[in-house]
Structure 1
Amino acid sequence: MSIKKQFLKSKPVCKVTFTVPAETADTVFVAGNWNNWNTNAEPLKKLKNGSFKGTVNLESGKDYEFKYVIDGEWQNEVEADAYNWNDYACSNNSVLQL
């Protein structure tokens, strides 16, 4: 799994590209506090090499909590900037620091 951040000079936006190696998966989504944890809002596209990839534009200067939803199973990003405990889910959320 990986995250690539590209900060735009013209406006306070960061293009965040998520890449998830999930060769046997059918669907991968990114759910986070920017999309109200909607498990269908940010689908990642399956590439020929079997990984999934997608880009989300997020406002710079903020922290965002998120998780991947791989075939309905919630997973954290191993390269996250940090992790925050979530009492509701009784697990950590991945954190993006922009």
Structure 2
Amino acid sequence: MTFVLPGEDPPGPVSVVGDFNDWRPGVHTLQPRNDGKRAVTVALPGETTHSFRYLAAGDYWFNEESTEDRDGANNYLRT
């Protein structure tokens, strides 16, 4: 699964954190791409459901805006 965000919104480093990485920040940090966005690819097993959020600098937690799939405060995705 590839997680993609705009290049500088929010500013500073951003990690995708979720049940797939034990909610540990910095394990999957989004990196700049040539198209001006930033992304990280995470290998996830097929036919599973995962909860995740993004964590930016300054302890700023936020969700994926392009999905309405929620598990409480978290996004969830099915692979």
TM-score interval (norm. to shorter): 0.7 to 0.9
Determine which structure has more spread, i.e. the larger CA radius of gyration. Answer: 1
Identify the structure with the greater strand proportion.
1
RMSD (CA atoms):
1.7
Q: Is the 8 A contact 1:67 1:76 kept in 2?
A: yes
Contact kept, 8 Å, 1:81 with 1:96, in 2: the verdict is: no
2:61 partner amino acid: W
- 1:34-58 CA distance string (max 9 Å, x none): 1110011111102355421110110
User: What TM-score results when the alignment is normalised by the length of structure 2?
Assistant: 0.84
Q: 8 Å contact 1:30–1:39 — kept in the other structure?
A: yes
Gaps of 5+ in 1: 1-15, 86-91
1-side partners of 2:66 and 2:19: how far apart? Answer: 18
Higher relative contact order (CA 8 A, sep 6+): 2
Gaps of 5+ in 2: none
Query: TM-score, with normalisation over the residues of structure 1?
Result: 0.70
- Deviation readout 1:47-88 (Å, 9 max, x if unpaired): 355421110110011100000112231110012361011xxx
Name the structure 2 match of 1:77.
64
Cα distance between partner residues in 2 of 1:42 and 1:68: 10
